[in-house]
Structure 1
């Protein structure tokens, strides 16, 4: 089953809710995911991960980053005013065949949902992509450009951008069906974890 973010129906609802307003979150206790981005966007994005909200997801993300699995992975799906998606470590490596980008994950097991009723998908919030099965998140994640509160309680929130939202805003937008970036997508050249 495809790991593409199952949002086709929700996209119509998004149009009425999207906003570009909102400030970056305050850095919490961490750990922080530090992403070096190159392409149309160039710079560093720092994400404060939320192990108290989604411990299994944060553990998997930090393990993949520590192993270097996210290095040179593209932003394969980017929808103006909505979100930028990346993290397909099996099919999304820059320089390779990207025709299946967004349909893979990692060699690690899929994760059970860790939905939060206290947090909302707003600008700068980072969530885990999944298929229609709520317990299918693996390695892919997305960063919100604007209000996505219609996703609340349906996707696992794993962090907040605390630095570099201007870099996220500059990520090359998709022009293909469903926001797919079909030509020279931006790349996470290096992803590390800091305490």
Structure 2
């Protein structure tokens, strides 16, 4: 009997020891799982944070601008990924209020409307002979992207004979003008009207000076104050 009691007592001690060890192992495993879960959660936060930072800090491929005119609002999108220097120049000029109170000085019926000449500021009639000849101090290199064309509603940079002489003057195509896409000598397209082509067409419909093509007043609006850029805002 004593031997049986001793064996039974030893068996109970073994069971208790196994049970205690099992509980210890179970608690240790739970703690390890909690640690892994916490580490995974922290890693997830880091990954999401880095992703958000890269998204916010990355330069946008499309910049939106609002051209406010005396005829209404023209909304445009600018293709920074395809014409980065052109778009950056346009945005810089707009933000510095360079375009405020300039005239759409060239109304070429069935072709383009054009603005951006500082000589037209305030529509002072005494300076009309110089309209179309001015620009901003800094010129930009020609940026031609094969996916962009001088089609109706698209914005392009005006320039002189030097392909790298564009500065501030730009135009909006009234019709498809693929002849302006000439390789190497083409005119750089950098944006498109997304809303307000009716405003563009209103500007294009105003009366222009009835003068010979050789006159500096050719294609100028009769009433310049009715077709002005009041401001350009970037968003």
Coarse TM-score class (shorter-chain normalised): 0.7 to 0.9
Contact 1:79 1:173 survives alignment (8 Å): no
Residue ranges of structure 2 left out of the alignment (5+ in a row): 1-59
Using the TM superposition, give the Cα deviation of residue 174 of structure 1 relative to its aligned residue in structure 2, in angstroms: 3.2
TM-score, structure 2 normalization? 0.65
Asked whether the 8 Å contact 1:83–1:142 carries over to 2, the reply is yes
Note if contact 2:157-2:189 (Cα within 8 Å) is conserved in structure 1: yes
- Higher strand content, 1 or 2: 1
Q: Name the counterpart of 2:35.
A: none
Runs of 4+ in 1 over 6 A off after TM superposition: none
Indicate whether 1:146 and 2:175 are aligned: yes
Matching of residue 191 in structure 1 with residue 232 in structure 2: yes
Name the structure where helix makes up a greater proportion of residues.
2
Q: How many residues align?
A: 162
RMSD, matched Cα: 1.7
The answer on 1:79 being equivalent to 2:119 is: no
By relative contact order (CA 8 Å, sep 6+), the higher-ranking structure is 1
Q: Distance in 2 between matches of 1:37 and 1:163?
A: 13
Question: In the alignment, which residue of structure 2 is the partner of 1:181?
Answer: 220
Contact 1:129-1:140 within 8 A present in 2 as well: yes
Which has the greater radius of gyration? 2
Could you give the per-residue CA deviations for residues 89-108 of structure 1, whole angstroms, max 9, x where no partner exists?
2x12123223211101012x
For the structure 1 residues 192 and 150, does the alpha-carbon distance in structure 2 shift closer, same or farther, using more than 3 Å as the test? same
TM-score (norm 1): 0.78
CA spacing shift, 1:144–1:173, aligned 2, 3 Å: farther
Q: Secondary structure at the match of 1:190?
A: strand
Distance, in Å, in 2 between the alignment partners of 1:177 and 1:65 is 33
Counterpart in 1 of 2:99? 70
What's 1:162 paired with? 194
Given that residues 207 and 221 in structure 2 are in contact (C-alpha distance below 8 angstroms), is that contact kept between their aligned partners in structure 1?
no
